[in-house]
């Protein structure tokens, strides 16, 4: 059994410094992935995360045509709905950079009335994009970008939910999400924990307690604390000083 990865925690004075360093981290991950496999597969979350990616817009090292973007979770609403993570990322990022639309892997909104079928279809999209390239049982994302809720959820994996023990499916659905909207699809822990890199982003005073709980008492088993990339997977937290004020775990000085 691989030794669980210990998280590296980078704390920044403000979100502008965080966003700039996160962009440098992502570009380094992209460079390594493109050098090895000619592409960069990344899964992003919704909420406040897309906004922290905007520093990439002005960076010269981003090879947008090599990116393949998926969603760590997505709300099951039309892709132009205000609750859609895709719409959020489209308005915040994609509309400002030359990423090919065919490289953005959205849910099939025509299936939104049948969550089982929609989750299955998204899983098949992952199989198409990864299986012929990686023979592993689970897809190996180059990078998964996660947020964390005040209850410790990440993606759409919520405390006490049966999805936390889903160990076979790559994509699962939830119809009673405690965070609205209720109907969502999400990557499962096996997929998240097979990523080459996982980076959490958490900012603001609203995350003070949950960051302390997750980073200093992982034995509580909160969903975000159960993200432990196996093998050589890296686990990094990008936080601001406001959110990490109660974190006892030693913070590292950001360096690539
Ligand atoms: O679709 C979603 O709602 C997100 O993927 C969700 O998992 C988010 O990352 C957390 O709820 C944190 O959200 P904030 O960063 O906005 O607090």
- Longest Cα–Cα distance in the chain: 47
As a whole number of Å, the CA-based R_g of the chain is 17
Cα 193 from Cα 213, distance rounded (Å): 20
Q: Whose CA is closest to atom 7 on ligand 1?
A: 155
Residue 47 CA: nearest ligand 1 atom is 16
Closest atom of ligand 1 to 153 CA is 7
**Nearest residue by C-alpha to atom 13 in ligand 1:** 47
Residue nearest atom 4 in ligand 1 by C-alpha distance: 46
Give the closest residue (by CA) to ligand 1 atom 15: 48
pLDDT (tens digit per residue) in 208-222: 999 999 999 999 999
Cα 1 to averaged position of ligand 1 atoms, centre (Å): 30
User: Does the interface ipTM go beyond 0.95?
Assistant: yes
- For residue 24, give both structure tokens: 């440098």
SS3 content of the chain, % helix, strand, coil (to 5): 40, 20, 45
Q: Does residue 238 sit in helix, strand or coil?
A: strand
Query: Sheet holding 73-75: strands in order across?
Result: 73-75, 184-187, 171-174
Q: Is residue 201 classed as helix, strand or coil in its secondary structure?
A: strand
CB distance 88 to 75 below 8 Å: no
Residue 133 has a pLDDT of 44
Q: Kindly give the distance from the C-alpha atom of residue 45 to the centroid of ligand 1, in angstroms, as a whole number.
A: 6
Tell how far the Cα of 135 is from the centroid of ligand 1, in angstroms: 31
Q: Among 91-105, 123-137, 180-194, 217-231, whose mean pLDDT is lowest?
A: 123-137
Nearest of 101, 74, 105 to residue 186 by alpha carbon: 74
pTM of the model: 0.96
As given in the structure block, the two tokens for residue 48 are 């406040």
Helix (H/G/I), strand (E/B), else coil: 222: coil
Decide: helix, strand or coil at residue 42. Answer: strand
Q: Which domains does the chain have, with CATH numbers?
A: 8-251 (3.40.50.1360)
Instruction: Report which ligand 1 atom has the smallest distance to the Cα of 45.
Output: 5
The lowest-confidence range among 43-52, 100-109, 135-144 is: 135-144
Task: Supply angle C-alpha 88, 92, 93, rounded to 5.
Answer: 115
Q: What angle do CA 161, 164, 170 make, to 5 degrees?
A: 125
CA distance 157 to 223: 6
239 CA to middle of ligand 1, Å?
Answer: 14
Ligand 1 pocket, residues with Cβ under 6 angstroms: 45-49, 72-73, 85, 147-149, 153-155, 179
Q: Whose CA is nearest to atom 1 of ligand 1?
A: 46
As a whole number, mean pLDDT of residues 131-156 equals 87
The overall average pLDDT reported for the chain is 94
């Amino acid at each position: 059994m691989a030794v669980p990865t210990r998280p590296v925690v980078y704390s920044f004075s403000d979100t502008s410094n965080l966003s700039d360093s996160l962009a440098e981290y992502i570009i380094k991950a992209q460079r390594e992935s493109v050098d090895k496999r000619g592409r960069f597969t990344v899964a992003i979350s919704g909420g406040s995360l897309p906004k922290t990616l905007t520093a990439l817009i002005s960076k010269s090292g981003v090879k947008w045509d090599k990116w393949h973007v998926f969603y760590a979770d997505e709300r099951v609403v039309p892709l132009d709905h205000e609750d859609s993570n895709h719409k959020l990322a489209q308005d915040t990022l994609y509309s400002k950079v030359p990423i090919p639309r065919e490289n953005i892997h959205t849910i099939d909104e025509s299936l939104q009335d049948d969550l089982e079928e929609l989750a299955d279809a998204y899983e098949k999209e992952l199989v198409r994009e990864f299986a012929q390239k990686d023979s592993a049982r689970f897809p190996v994302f180059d990078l998964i970008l996660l947020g964390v809720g005040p209850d410790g959820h990440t993606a759409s994996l919520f405390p006490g939910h049966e999805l936390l023990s889903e160990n076979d499916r790559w994509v699962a659905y939830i119809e009673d999400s405690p965070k609205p909207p209720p109907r969502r699809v999400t990557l499962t822990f096996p997929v998240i924990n097979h990523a080459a890199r996982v980076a959490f982003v958490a900012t603001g005073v609203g995350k003070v307690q949950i960051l302390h709980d997750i980073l200093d008492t992982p034995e509580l088993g909160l969903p975000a604390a159960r993200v432990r990339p196996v093998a050589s997977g890296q686990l990094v937290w990008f936080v601001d000083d406001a959110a990490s004020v109660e974190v006892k775990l030693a913070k590292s000085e950001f360096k690539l």
